[in-house]
């Protein structure tokens, strides 16, 4: 039971890490598909011209590696919250002040230049290929990891919202995945950045008013 502050067993830690890793793969791989399609097309032309094979699957593996690292950090954060008895049985934070702080952080991050730069990268697969193409199996992994780091930079704060809505909530997981995919892949999706930030800040303010007003 997550409200307990007893030490985690290795099996419990491993299970939570696996949960986060699967959740990240399900949420983020769809938004990486435009990059993977372009890697596949570029690789087909390059191999036909005599270049080394740059497998798209290894690009995807490198991309997922960045999210595996994020999953390890999220697992550590969940373990810390658990040890402090700050998680409910639904795996959401019990203290509204902490929930409000996470909402405030996620909302504020939407307006930072780091978010803008990472989102611009995630929306520009062709620019990425032109600037960062590296052939071969090692090049595929390195490119995927590079893209994954930008993707984590774009979405990490939104991912923390899972601690507000419950890390076990499939519905919220799919909703957040859809929002992040829309930001990165839809035409004009970058314009979602501002209303999303405003909405999260308003949500944070609502939490403060309801619980502390």
Predicted confidence (pLDDT) per residue in 147-184, tens digit: 999 999 999 999 999 999 998 888 999 999 999 999 99
What's the per-residue H, E or C state across 19-30? HHHHHHHHHHHH
Helices (H) and strands (E) in the chain, counts: 9, 0
Cβ-based neighbours of 170, under 8 Å, separated by 6 or more: none
- pLDDT score, position 4: 52
Instruction: Tell me the sheet residues that pair with 87.
Output: 93
* Domains in the chain: boundaries: 10-87+95-212
Residues 1-16 have pLDDT tens digits of 444 555 677 888 899 9
pLDDT tens-digit map of 81-118: 988 999 988 889 999 999 999 999 999 999 999 999 99
Mean pLDDT confidence for 130-141? 94
pTM confidence score: 0.90
Q: Which helix (H) or strand (E) holds 114?
A: helix 113-122
């Amino acid at each position: 039971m997550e409200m307990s502050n007893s030490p985690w067993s290795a099996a419990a830690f491993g299970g939570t890490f696996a949960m986060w890793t699967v959740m990240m793969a399900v949420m983020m791989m769809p938004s990486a598909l435009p990059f993977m399609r372009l890697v596949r097309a570029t690789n087909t032309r390059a191999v036909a011209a005599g270049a080394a094979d740059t497998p798209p699957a290894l690009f995807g593996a490198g991309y997922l590696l960045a999210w595996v690292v994020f999953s390890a950090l999220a697992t550590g954060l969940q373990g810390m919250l658990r040890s402090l008895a700050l998680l409910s049985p639904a795996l959401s934070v019990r203290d509204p002040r902490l929930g409000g702080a996470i909402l405030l952080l996620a909302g504020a991050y939407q307006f930072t230049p780091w978010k803008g730069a990472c989102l611009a990268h995630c929306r520009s697969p062709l620019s990425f290929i032109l600037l960062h193409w590296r052939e071969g199996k090692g090049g595929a992994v390195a490119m995927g990891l590079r893209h994954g780091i930008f993707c984590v930079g774009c979405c990490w704060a939104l991912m923390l919202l899972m601690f507000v809505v419950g890390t076990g909530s499939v519905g919220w997981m799919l909703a957040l995945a859809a929002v992040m995919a829309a930001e990165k892949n839809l035409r004009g999706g970058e314009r979602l950045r501002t209303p999303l930030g405003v909405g999260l800040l308003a949500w944070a303010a609502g939490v403060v008013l309801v619980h502390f007003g």
